[in-house]
Amino acid sequence: MPEYSIGLDLGGTNLRAAAVSREGDILEKISVSASPQKGREHLLGEMVAVIGDLRSRWGTGQLGGIGLGVPGFILLKDGVIRNSNNLACLEDFPFRDEMERRLQTPIILENDGNAAALGEKWRGAGRDVDDLVMLTLGTGIGGGIISRGRVLHGFLGMAGELGHLTVVPNGTPCGCGNRGCLEKHASATAITSMARLLGLGDDLTSAGVYSLASNGNEHAQTVFRCMGEALGIALAMMVNVFNFPLYLLSGGVLPAWDRFAPAMLEEMQRRSFTFRTTETKIEKAILGNEAGLYGAAYLPWIAAK
């Protein structure tokens, strides 16, 4: 049996886990429906069962560790989840300690956006660099910052909340208490909200808005231009702050790249001297939904270094 780790990616509706070799090859993958609405005990039992299945088939002697990627703020020192809309049943609960007690194995806990960024660093578009930023454009906007090959956490573990950078002063109110957050102006939800305001319909998805834009609808094209400008403002700030060589975009909005990227890159040219004068790259992530699994599985190997 090869030396391996287990990575688990927990969302509001799905629980995915994989046994991954130390070289980064997925040996086996399991995906089941997650049921946080059934309560904490049920959800913990689901996670323990999935991890137990993998461990029983691939052996305990070769297991290098277990990494868990979960949504929300992670208080790393305490192993506690805060402010997770999808996993309210696990908030302010000694999650890591309880999982370690049940599995009798050390657990490394990580925010899902950070785990995805780490996955792209290990096995994806960022494997050739040690410093990168990744933005995930979905219903909201998540992100992760990798510095010197490791997740940049900040002093509590809450760094990397890139979706809450202000890109429109006094813009759309956000649930975080701010106004004009990036995720309120560049996420899939933002796309459909702008489409409604421009009279394109109440039931459109972001893919539907993209289809209209591709077929010449000027209002839909305006939506993606505004989205691209918001992204460009945020990315220009990141380039100016970090001076990293690579910035990755991922998520369900990525198929609309041809619609938002021109405005995004134009805005970055306007706002960042560093971007204009260096070979800073803005690229698509390549691992898709697997990024979080890879990143979670990589956590034990990073911790051992």
Q: Is 216 exposed, middle or buried (0-12, 13-18, 19+ CB in 10 A)?
A: exposed
In a domain, 123, yes or no: no
In a domain, 67, yes or no: yes
In a domain, 124, yes or no: no
Distance CA 240, CA 233 (A): 11
82 and 136: one domain?
Answer: no
- Asked whether residue 263 carries a pLDDT value surpassing 90, the answer given is yes
Q: How many independent structural domains does the chain possess?
A: 2
**pTM assigned to the model:** 0.93
User: pLDDT tens-digit profile of 190-232?
Assistant: 999 999 999 999 999 999 999 999 999 999 999 999 999 999 9
- Of 31, 136, 115, the C-alpha closest to 66 is 115
Q: Is 95 exposed, middle or buried (0-12, 13-18, 19+ CB in 10 A)?
A: buried
- Asked whether residue 84 carries a pLDDT value surpassing 90, the answer given is no
Distance CA 24, CA 20 (A): 6
Encoded tokens for 46: 């689901």
Q: Are 299 and 79 in contact (CB under 8 A)?
A: no
pLDDT for 2: 76
Cβ atoms within 10 Å, residue 173: 12
207 and 235: one domain?
Answer: yes
User: pLDDT tens-digit profile of 117-135?
Assistant: 999 999 999 999 999 999 9
Quote the domain boundaries for residue 161.
129-285
In a domain, 25, yes or no: yes
* CATH number (domain holding residue 134): 3.30.420.40
10 and 33: one domain?
Answer: yes
277 and 157: one domain?
Answer: yes
- Of 157, 153, 162, the C-alpha closest to 231 is 162
139 and 255: one domain?
Answer: yes
In a domain, 211, yes or no: yes
168 and 231: one domain?
Answer: yes
As a whole number, the mean pLDDT across the chain is: 94
Q: Which residue has the tokens 């890159």?
A: 265
142 and 90: one domain?
Answer: no
273 and 299: one domain?
Answer: no
92 and 200: one domain?
Answer: no
133 and 281: one domain?
Answer: yes
293 and 273: one domain?
Answer: no
Q: Which residue has the tokens 């040996």?
A: 27
156 and 281: one domain?
Answer: yes
